[in-house]
Chain A
Amino acid sequence: MSYFFTIFSPTDTPLFTHEFGTSRSGGDGIARFTASERSLAPFILHSSLDIVEELQFGPSSTSGSAPMYLKHIDKYANNFVSCWITGANVRFLLLTRPRDEALGLAGGGGAGARGSLAGGRVTGSGLYDPRSPATEEAVKNFFVDVYEAWLKTVMNPFFHAGNGDVVKSPVFRQRVAAAAKKYL
């Protein structure tokens, strides 16, 4: 699985971008995006902001409470997007691209099966499900850790991340990487 993590300012400017792969089940923590997927990822995350805003300001589905973790919010092709909103309306967006096998597209053969005009949707167990409790929990833990690091970064008086500056702090990047390694 490959991940693309971006922090958007309230004005939709990306403040921080990090790309990593899974470290679970023998993963080496390196993202495996193809070139086109990599170039599309920012577009997908950017477009998901529409959904974020709707969930954020739309009618509440959580009976009054306003959770920061919005869980899985959007999907484009094989890319799943999860979101976390901070109190200052900074959006953390995590794009997940599961491996082909986890999507039921067996490597190589998937194209043939999908290409048939009859269409074919594979359903079954063992597939990646963005709404499964385990996935949601792992992403939540990741977001919590990142949020903590983020708070410490933006509270730094010498740094203007809160005002829309791009985060360059290597410490912050390290912490995000550590959280990613730990949970995803």
Chain B
Amino acid sequence: MTPLQDATPKPPRYPADLEASMILPKQRASPASSLASLPYRRSNPSLHKLFESTTSLSGSRPSSGSATPTASVVPSSTFSPGSRLNGAGTPGSLPPGVSDEHRLLIQRAFAPHVVVLADTETEELMRRKGLEGGLLQLLRPFGESVPGKVTIRDSVGAGKSCDDFGVRFVGINEGLGLPPRNPNLRVNTTNGQSEGARTSSSAVPPRRIGGDVAQIEELVDRHLQYSEFNTEGMVSDYLSQSEPVPAEATSSPFYTLYLRRLLSGLPLVPHETFAHPVAGVIAISSRNPNPIEELRRLYKRQHDGDLRLPQWVENDFLRYYLLIHDEDTGDIAKSNQTFDAMKRHFGLHCHLLRLKSQQCIPSDDDSVRLPTCEWMSAGEELAEIQKRETADDITDPTPYIPDSDITAIKTFVRELVAQSIVPNMERAIATWNEQVLARRRGISGRFMSLSKRWTPFGSSRNSSSPTLSSNSNYDSLQGFYRPDAPEALMRKLADYCFMLRDWKLALSTYDILRTDFQNDKAWRHYAGAAEMAALSALMSTTPLSSKTRTENIDAWIEAASYSYTDRQRSAAPYYALRTLALGLELLRLRGSGAADDAARWASRILETGLVGAVGTALFTERISACYAVRTGVGAFKLGSRRRKAALWAVLAAENWWRLDKALQAEKCLDAATRLYGIHGQETQTGGPVKLPFPQMQAYIDELRQQILGLRLTNRGLLLDEDGEGGAEVAQSLMVEEATETLDKSPRGHRKSLIGMVAPPPIDVGPLSPRLERGPEADRRDDQFEGA
């Protein structure tokens, strides 16, 4: 049916670096050549789904139906379900207040990590189900949000239930850097784990570890391009421009995506333990002949064998034993027997998971699409996009699994989290709080830390660290604390508190750690503690009343961002960016007083050059949003930052325009004019309201013109190109199959992605009737609109 099914299989090449991809849209081929390959591209529904599923989180996740519990978790009010850009566009009408969205995002981002290890039989079973990634791929989407409420007791014993708790299932070898780095992806100068050499190079080809700013930028740019060229109703939008647009939304979905990817796939590093496993799932199949021995073997491999984590990772985390029963071929009586044996040997942390082993296809009765991971790293999502773009198959490559499997997995995840992981973490917190923190906090602990600092022989605490250079526990040569050192335990305690949302204890612990790390001159650790201290202080819902408190937090953020970047040549700009970005988001939520600070941190991001081109535009936009939060008091709006917000909105519009993102530029410019109060109003004499400053008015007018021109260019409406394009279209009508061969440019295929002409006003499925009509119709359309 699709005439271009047999188009050249040459995959589009992807620019390795951002700059190259920025300028792509300018060097397009004639519209005809891009037109030729356009329907093929656009009719790839799986690709569309990928973009949609990431940018509209709460929108309709395709065909997952009731299987995605996350839909209700993300505050759905922040995105209008029917946004105009295929779900990738502007969030719709939001009351011009502040939404909690990013706080929830941060809260969900720091989740306990669970290592998944399965035996070969299980992996084979999964492969037969069509899951190339094995058990991990099956479990991962379901761990991101645990169904139902999870009750957490904090350090004082007060219970608190949260319904958006999640865990991250990760592979055992992900932090280890077993395979070499994928050379296609840009070397992450940003990861900067100079000391932990084993971790810095990280993963299997779809890189699961995040922390690479360049990749995040590339990914967001990809999403932006998609929205830029796949918007429906671009024309109608332009025509209705004079109508009042819904009040300025707090954030663009692309910024949310940026933050989410920034927080996805936290790297395994010594100076913070968020990515250190809290628990490990060891899975075997029921078909394994001697299951108990296999479980022991896997445990040994993980504990001290070849799969052992680096030595700065605590190795005695909770192990959870999982028996996977094959519903189709296995014998349930035998599995039950095995399961009982497992329970006898390993205690209560066991589960029997019953899965079907047959492959499921979409047309099956109760098949459900495997949900997309929300928290995949940027590199992983990029790889996924590329895979789907180059795939010839128009069907969705996402595996489908039976409904019964989903129920079983959900039950398993819930049990794992609610009965094993959370209680275990609570217990660990209580123990450490009593044994480590209380001792450190007490008078003797203070004295000891003093004596450690000032006397040459007061080293009563360093017995756990044999390789010490001074009398501290910090191994300054390799840059870590041993996992059983009090500092490491306290850091773990604080991180556990943070993950369980006990902000108060986390804050006090981080604060103690900060001074300890500073005394030890463990700068990376110090920065980490300062960062998390600031974040946990801001995350707590108690009002930060006094000015001094704010100054405190400012000092922490400052110290963290400074120590992450400037000290000791061991720069970790990723972490600095994380500190500043999260700090600014949380400060912004603190209302008008802190909005200035938020904007200041955002401009710090820009000044220190922590982000690339896309990030610059996004954060410029964000500064505008920060200032816009400050509305001022009284009738005269004293203390408002309206004009500042407008300035930054104009700057953002210009940035977007430079990046050839007409839609975003337009949006920012509209926001700016609204802030200046000249949007869509008319003076009494009838003309539009002008800015008082003629130079400013001229600048804005010119910018608008340029954006309009860019938008037309993006749609392939340049007149001179029209002329030669017409001839080619005529030819292509004659020999429809030969369209691709006319495409002389070597870059034709790549351009086709970007230099698309206007898409049809409806979201066509794979087989659009437009294809039968032929490109002539499109051509006529274009000339009509161009005229």
Residue ranges of A at the interface with B (Cβ–Cβ < 8 Å): 11-14, 39-40, 42-44, 46-51, 53-54, 57-58, 76-77, 114-121
B639 touches A117 (CB 8 A): no
B189 touches A117 (CB 8 A): yes
Question: Are A120 and B566 CB-contacts (below 8 A) given A47-B647, A57-B638?
Answer: yes
Q: How far is the CB of B650 from the nearest CB of chain A, in Å?
A: 6
Could you tell me the distance between the alpha carbons of A47 and B644 in the complex, rounded to whole angstroms? 5
What is the chain B residue whose CB lies nearest that of A6?
B693
Within 8 A of A (CB), among B637-651: 638-644, 646-647, 650-651
B610 touches A119 (CB 8 A): yes
- B455 contacts chain A at the CB level, 8 A cutoff: no
B609 touches A115 (CB 8 A): yes
Could you tell me the distance between the alpha carbons of A75 and B648 in the complex, rounded to whole angstroms? 13
B643 touches A49 (CB 8 A): yes
Question: Are A46 and B566 CB-contacts (below 8 A) given A54-B638, A116-B609?
Answer: no
Q: Which chain B residues border A46 with CB–CB below 8 Å?
A: 643, 647, 693, 696
As a 0/1 sequence over residues 569 to 603 of chain B, the CB contacts with chain A under 8 angstroms (1 = contact) are 10101001000000000000000000000000000
A119 touches B647 (CB 8 A): no
Q: Which chain A residues border B565 with CB–CB below 8 Å?
A: 118-119
Q: How far is the CB of B242 from the nearest CB of chain A, in Å?
A: 24
Q: Which chain A residues border B552 with CB–CB below 8 Å?
A: none
Q: Out of A14, A115, A121, which one reaches B566, CB within 8 Å?
A: A121
B609 touches A114 (CB 8 A): yes
Q: Which chain A residues border B569 with CB–CB below 8 Å?
A: 118
Interchain residue pairs with CB less than 8 A apart (15): A12-B692, A14-B692, A39-B695, A39-B699, A40-B651, A42-B696, A46-B643, A50-B641, A50-B643, A50-B644, A53-B638, A58-B638, A117-B213, A118-B569, A121-B608
Q: Which chain A residues border B190 with CB–CB below 8 Å?
A: 117
What is the chain A residue whose CB lies nearest that of B676?
A46
Could you tell me the distance between the alpha carbons of A115 and B607 in the complex, rounded to whole angstroms? 9
Q: Out of B213, B571, B696, B699, which one reaches A118, CB within 8 Å?
A: B571
Q: How far is the CB of B425 from the nearest CB of chain A, in Å?
A: 35
Residue ranges of B at the interface with A (Cβ–Cβ < 8 Å): 189-190, 213, 565-566, 569, 571, 573, 576, 607-610, 638-644, 646-647, 650-651, 692-693, 695-696, 699
Q: Which chain A residues border B647 with CB–CB below 8 Å?
A: 43-44, 46-47, 76
Could you tell me the distance between the alpha carbons of A40 and B651 in the complex, rounded to whole angstroms? 9
B699 touches A50 (CB 8 A): no
Q: Which chain A residues border B571 with CB–CB below 8 Å?
A: 117-119
Q: Out of B607, B638, B693, which one reaches A42, CB within 8 Å?
A: B693
Q: Which chain A residues border B695 with CB–CB below 8 Å?
A: 39, 42
Q: Which chain A residues border B641 with CB–CB below 8 Å?
A: 50
What's the dominant secondary structure at chain A's contact region? helix
Q: How far is the CB of B593 from the nearest CB of chain A, in Å?
A: 12
B692 touches A13 (CB 8 A): yes
Question: Are A50 and B610 CB-contacts (below 8 A) given A13-B692, A42-B696?
Answer: no
Q: Which chain B residues border A51 with CB–CB below 8 Å?
A: 644
Q: How far is the CB of A141 from the nearest CB of chain B, in Å?
A: 27
Q: Which chain B residues border A47 with CB–CB below 8 Å?
A: 643-644, 646-647
Known: A119-B573, A120-B566. 16 other contacts (CB 8 A): A11-B692, A12-B692, A14-B693, A42-B696, A42-B699, A46-B696, A49-B643, A50-B640, A50-B643, A50-B644, A58-B639, A116-B609, A117-B189, A118-B566, A118-B573, A119-B609
Q: How far is the CB of B767 from the nearest CB of chain A, in Å?
A: 47
Could you tell me the distance between the alpha carbons of A39 and B699 in the complex, rounded to whole angstroms? 7
Could you tell me the distance between the alpha carbons of A126 and B416 in the complex, rounded to whole angstroms? 62
Could you tell me the distance between the alpha carbons of A123 and B409 in the complex, rounded to whole angstroms? 57
Q: Which chain B residues border A114 with CB–CB below 8 Å?
A: 609
B699 touches A43 (CB 8 A): yes
Could you tell me the distance between the alpha carbons of A166 and B564 in the complex, rounded to whole angstroms? 51
Could you tell me the distance between the alpha carbons of A119 and B190 in the complex, rounded to whole angstroms? 12
What is the chain B residue whose CB lies nearest that of A118?
B571
A119 touches B576 (CB 8 A): yes
Could you tell me the distance between the alpha carbons of A184 and B312 in the complex, rounded to whole angstroms? 59
Q: Which chain A residues border B699 with CB–CB below 8 Å?
A: 39, 42-43
B573 touches A117 (CB 8 A): yes
What is the chain A residue whose CB lies nearest that of B672?
A43
A53 touches B566 (CB 8 A): no
Could you tell me the distance between the alpha carbons of A121 and B609 in the complex, rounded to whole angstroms? 11
Q: Which chain A residues border B189 with CB–CB below 8 Å?
A: 117
Q: How far is the CB of A74 from the nearest CB of chain B, in Å?
A: 9
What is the chain A residue whose CB lies nearest that of B565?
A119
Could you tell me the distance between the alpha carbons of A77 and B639 in the complex, rounded to whole angstroms? 22
What is the chain A residue whose CB lies nearest that of B639?
A54
Could you tell me the distance between the alpha carbons of A14 and B642 in the complex, rounded to whole angstroms? 18
Could you tell me the distance between the alpha carbons of A162 and B699 in the complex, rounded to whole angstroms? 28
| 8 closest A-B pairs by CB | A119-B608, A118-B571, A47-B647, A13-B692, A117-B573, A47-B643, A119-B565, A47-B644
Could you tell me the distance between the alpha carbons of A12 and B691 in the complex, rounded to whole angstroms? 10
Q: Which chain A residues border B644 with CB–CB below 8 Å?
A: 47, 50-51
Q: How far is the CB of B560 from the nearest CB of chain A, in Å?
A: 13
Q: How far is the CB of A18 from the nearest CB of chain B, in Å?
A: 13
What is the chain B residue whose CB lies nearest that of A41?
B695
Q: How far is the CB of B633 from the nearest CB of chain A, in Å?
A: 10
User: Which of A42, A116, A119, A120: most chain B CB closer than 10 A?
Assistant: A119
